[in-house]
Amino acid sequence: MQAYDPEKAARIWDRVRQPPQAGLDVQKLPALINEEWADAATYLLLARQFQGKHNLMLRQMAEQEQTHAACLKGIYTLVSGKRAPEFTPQPDSAPLETMLRRCYGREMRSLAAYEARSTDPEYGQVFSRLAAQERDHCRKLLELLGSIQPTRRNL
């Protein structure tokens, strides 16, 4: 067994205690977290307007958005050394089709943000996974928009 070097151990512990210096702009993460919480709240609101497979799909999307927010909060904590700000999402109150269109736009913005960060050496794999789920959400929203019955469009 090798001799214990207290100076070397102290340097290692100093590095471990310091937040990682990723190439991320930590100032932009709270806005992404807020978008994820808004999507989750909106999907839960929308789920009440559907039954069956669409209700289940929207609830699963809401859960995934909550997971995205938690991942982003974790990254924020690691990069900044502070807890991420808390948000109280306010879901839209608009006609069904309008809400779905707005969700699609937010999903596309999130997708672009995550793809842009997918090359980050520290968190790129996480952002790639988030991007893949957002891409799937875009597809599901288009499916929902395409399945709305004409009588429901005026809700």
Q: pLDDT class for 45, splitting at 50, 70, 90?
A: very high
Kindly report whether the global pTM for this prediction surpasses the value 0.85: no
Chain segment 52-106, per-residue pLDDT in tens: 999 999 999 999 999 999 999 999 999 999 999 888 877 777 899 999 999 999 9
Contacts 24+ apart (CB under 8 A), 95-101: 95/153, 95/154, 95/155, 96/46, 96/49, 96/148, 96/152, 96/153, 96/155, 97/145, 97/148, 97/153, 99/42, 99/45, 99/46, 100/46, 100/141, 100/144, 100/145, 100/148, 101/145
Per the structure block, which two tokens stand in for 42?
């909106």
Average pLDDT over the chain reads 87
End-to-end, the C-alpha distance of the chain in Å comes to 73
Per-residue pLDDT, 12: 65
With 80 as the cut, is the pLDDT of residue 43 above it?
yes
Percent of the chain with pLDDT over 90: 67
Per-residue pLDDT, 90: 77
Per-residue pLDDT, 8: 73
